[in-house]
């Protein structure tokens, strides 16, 4: 989320996309390890920058972990909390955003909802965590935590057939190739006082298996400004045809997408509210490495 209506957020909402991280390990020369002797690997010392990044992500995971989910119609198969490992993480130092993540509701299949978290050192002059909420299910539910609440009763997205798309392939590798190819047909933009083009991140942030036939498949792609996701593009097969849907992650006054130059999706200004399928909020946060006035904390001299 690059843009939020600060007026809307401040007027009653103040309380309110991850590839696996590769850890580089440095160890012994394999040739020096004796037969049948376990290899001993030495982890690279964590730098101050990596320590801050880890602690900031842990703060967001902790906030996500406090969110309790309740469904209007009880069902033991429905999740009662969000996953605490982000499906995507990012930052945007140029705009003051030091750490952020996307979190899914539901351990498998298409997510039932997505929440984004962003740490802003000087949002309204102080460190805050910003939440965005995106419902992906028509089932009514609510979430509550120490600093947020949300109770949507509808999905923000609507799936439509992708025109002139091929029949879903029989095997999974070929279907992934098809999904990437279909995603590349989309272009998108947003209006925040002026028009900005969004870029498609070429790799899906997550692949999932919807309910359906053996050829049911799905992926989530990001439409972003830099690394900052403004919308999620879903490319999904029901086993018979390819479909798409787009969900916003931004408070832009207007957003739209095209496929092969033809209109595919358009949405207007946000109406913030706790029962809406998309909304946002913010609350106070003690961001590691950031002072209460929003300035970076200088490292202590050795």
List pLDDT tens digits, range 235-293: 999 999 999 999 999 999 999 999 999 999 999 999 899 999 999 999 999 999 999 99
What percentage of the chain reaches a pLDDT higher than 90? 77
> Nearest to residue 244, comparing CAs of 197, 195, 200, 198?
200
> Nearest to residue 63, comparing CAs of 111, 133, 12?
133
Q: Are strands 88-92 and 216-225 parallel, antiparallel or unpaired?
A: unpaired
**pLDDT reading at 184 higher than 90:** yes
**pLDDT reading at 205 higher than 60:** yes
By the 8 A CB rule, do 254 and 247 touch? Answer: no
**pLDDT reading at 1 higher than 70:** no
**pLDDT reading at 213 higher than 90:** no
**pLDDT reading at 19 higher than 80:** no
DSSP 287: -
By the 8 A CB rule, do 226 and 218 touch? Answer: no
Q: Which residues contact 109 (CB under 8 A, 6 or more apart)?
A: 208, 209, 210, 211
Distance, in Å, from the CA atom of 87 to the CA atom of 60, rounded to the nearest integer, reads 13
User: Residue 203: how many CB atoms within 10 A of its CB?
Assistant: 12
> Nearest to residue 281, comparing CAs of 3, 1, 2, 10?
10
Residue 2 is predicted with a pLDDT of: 55
Token pair in block for residue 119? 């740490």
Token pair in block for residue 186? 């989309």
Phi-psi region of 95 (alpha: psi -120 to 50; beta: other; left: phi over 0): alpha
**pLDDT reading at 219 higher than 60:** yes
pLDDT tier for residue 41 given thresholds of 50, 70 and 90 = low
DSSP 147: S
Q: Which residues contact 138 (CB under 8 A, 6 or more apart)?
A: 154, 155
pTM score of the predicted model: 0.84
Q: Residue for token digits 């299910």?
A: 137
Distance, in Å, from the CA atom of 15 to the CA atom of 26, rounded to the nearest integer, reads 45
Distance, in Å, from the CA atom of 34 to the CA atom of 52, rounded to the nearest integer, reads 38
28-50 mean pLDDT: 56
CA–CA distance from 186 to each of 45, 156, 192, 232, 252 (Å)? 42, 19, 20, 12, 19
Between 45-49, 83-87, 157-161, the lowest mean confidence (pLDDT) is in: 45-49
Q: Residue for token digits 């590691």?
A: 288
Between 39-43, 99-103, 224-228, 242-246, the lowest mean confidence (pLDDT) is in: 39-43
**pLDDT reading at 95 higher than 50:** yes
114-127 mean pLDDT: 96
Distance, in Å, from the CA atom of 53 to the CA atom of 175, rounded to the nearest integer, reads 35
Looking at the DSSP bridge assignments, the partners of residue 237 are 217, 242
């Amino acid at each position: 989320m690059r843009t939020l209506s600060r007026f809307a957020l401040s007027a009653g909402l103040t309380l309110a996309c991850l590839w696996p991280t590769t850890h580089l390990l440095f160890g012994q020369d394999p040739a020096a390890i004796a037969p049948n002797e376990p290899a001993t690997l030495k982890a690279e010392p964590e730098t101050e920058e990596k320590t801050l990044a880890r602690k900031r992500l842990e703060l967001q995971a902790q906030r996500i972990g406090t969110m309790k989910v309740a469904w209007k119609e009880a069902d033991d198969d429905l999740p009662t909390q969000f996953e605490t490992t982000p499906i995507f993480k990012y930052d945007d130092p140029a705009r003051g955003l030091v750490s952020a993540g996307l979190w899914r509701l539901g351990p498998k299949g298409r997510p039932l909802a997505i929440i984004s978290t962003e740490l802003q050192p000087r949002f309204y002059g102080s460190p805050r965590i910003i939440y965005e909420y995106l419902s992906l299910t028509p089932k009514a539910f609510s979430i509550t935590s120490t600093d947020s609440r949300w109770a949507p009763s509808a999905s923000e997205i609507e799936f439509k057939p992708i025109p002139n798309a091929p029949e879903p392939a029989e095997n999974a590798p070929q279907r992934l190739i098809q999904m990437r190819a279909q995603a590349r047909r989309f272009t998108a933009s947003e209006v925040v006082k002026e028009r900005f083009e969004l870029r498609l991140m070429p790799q899906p942030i997550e692949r999932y298996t919807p309910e359906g036939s053996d050829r049911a498949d799905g992926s989530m792609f990001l439409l972003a400004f830099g690394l900052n996701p403004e919308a999620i593009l879903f490319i999904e097969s029901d086993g018979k045809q390819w479909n798409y849907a787009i969900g916003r992650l931004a408070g832009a006054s207007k957003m739209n997408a095209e496929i092969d130059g033809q209109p595919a999706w358009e949405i207007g200004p946000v109406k913030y509210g706790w029962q809406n399928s998309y909304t946002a909020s913010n609350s106070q946060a003690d961001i590691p490495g950031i002072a209460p006035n929003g300035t970076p904390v200088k490292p202590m001299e050795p």
